[in-house]
Amino acid sequence: MNYLLQYQKLLDKHGVDRLPEKGYFERHHILPKCVGGDSTVDNLIYLSLRCHYLAHYLLYKAFPEHKCLAYAFMLISGRNQKINSKVFAEIREKISGKNHEKSVKVHTPLGWFNSVREAAKAHNISHPIISKKCKSKKFFHSEYYYETNFEDKFENTDRAKHLGKKVVTPDGVFNSVREAGAFYKVYHSTISKWCKSKPDFYYLEEAICNKKAKRKVHTPLGWFDSVSMAAKAENTFPGTISSRCKNSNFSDYYYSEQD
């Protein structure tokens, strides 16, 4: 088969000089750049997805000595998969154009943007950084998300059920430690530590944290409303106060009987 002739016929029949308003088309270099072609108007043509795939296949078969053409066809067809042009068109269309993540609306601390590139320009950073933040589940990236993944950005998993417990703080009740962490601008692990040490922070549904918040503690300096307050007065760690309260050698350290 004369692959070069078939290539010419494909371009003559299905190629167009301008990008059509309907349908999805891709720009193609008639003479590939790797073999001396350029990006001038005379060397550019628009092809449908299926025709673009076939064009690279025919170039690869017509000039097998050029490794760059083989590499281009490998990229366009998939490195480890053998697919036909119809399947290729279906897959490529699902991830291209309006369906591409860079074309989806995105939210950042500056508000809503029509695309990742638009948001990146407003923040004066590269668009891959915006995409990375939108996929991140860290608290300081909580305001970065796509319009399509808002609900599942902080979806709880079986390995982190404690992250979904409601937390009581001086500023109100939060639905999770992540939400509280985003409000206080700290890691969610810090909120968890505060629930175990600070009287004003505790899990709403966990009785043990409520008990710690209400239990008073006695030290040589007197009575305190919580372990953390006693530790602050003695300039030590809350864990040290708790250990002394449980150690019979420290008779002046003990909890109140209000449990």
Cα–Cα distance measured from residue 13 to residue 4, given in angstroms and rounded to the nearest whole number: 14
- If asked whether residues 73 and 30 sit together in one domain, one would say yes
Does residue 152 form part of some domain?
no
Extract the tokens encoding 202.
Answer: 């505790």
Closest CA to 49 of 24, 77, 84, 79: 24
| 125/192 same-domain check | no
Judgement on whether residues 31 and 83 belong to the same structural domain of the protein: yes
Q: Binning pLDDT at 50, 70 and 90, where does residue 170 land?
A: confident
Residue 206 pLDDT level (bands cut at 50, 70, 90): low
Rounded to two decimals, what is the model's pTM? 0.38
pLDDT digits (tens, 9 = 90+) for 53-69: 889 889 988 888 887 78
Q: How many domains does the chain have?
A: 4
> Residue 198: which of 169, 161, 174 has the closest Cα?
169
- Residue 151 is assigned to a structural domain of this protein: no
Position 179 in a domain: yes
Residues 92 and 105 placed together within one structural domain of the fold: no
| One domain for residues 173 and 162 | yes
**What per-residue confidence (pLDDT) applies to 204?**
67
88 and 108 together in one domain: no
Q: Are residues 185 and 243 in the same domain?
A: no
Contacts 24+ apart (CB under 8 A), 9-15: 10/51, 10/54, 10/55, 10/58, 11/45, 11/47, 11/55, 14/47, 14/48, 14/51, 15/45, 15/46, 15/47, 15/51
How many of the other CB atoms lie within 10 Å of CB of 180?
26
Does 223 fall in a domain? Answer: yes
Residue 44 belongs to some domain of the structure: yes
Residues 165 and 79 both lie in one domain: no
For residue 16, the 8-state DSSP code is B
Q: What CA–CA distance (Å, rounded) separates 142 from 80?
A: 36
Which residue from 102, 1, 107 is spatially nearest to 58, judged by alpha carbons? 1
Supply the range of the domain harboring residue 126: 101-146
28 strand-pairing partners: 45
Segment 74-84 mean pLDDT: 64
Task: Please report the DSSP string for 176-224 in residue order.
Answer: SHHHHHHHHTS-HHHHHHHHHH-TT-EETT-HHHHHHHH--EEETTEEE
Secondary element (H or E) of residue 145: strand 145-146
Q: What is the pLDDT of residues 83-134, one digit of tens each?
A: 677 656 665 665 566 556 556 788 888 888 888 888 889 999 988 888 888 8
Residues 94 and 162 in one domain: no
Residues 138 and 201 in one domain: no
The verdict on 41 and 78 lying in the same domain is yes
Residue 124 in any domain: the answer is yes
Please give the span between the terminal C-alpha atoms of the chain, in angstroms, as a whole number.
89
Q: Are 5 and 58 in contact (CB under 8 A)?
A: no
Does residue 210 lie within any of the structural domains?
no
| 227 in a structural domain | yes
Is the same domain home to 19 and 71?
Answer: yes
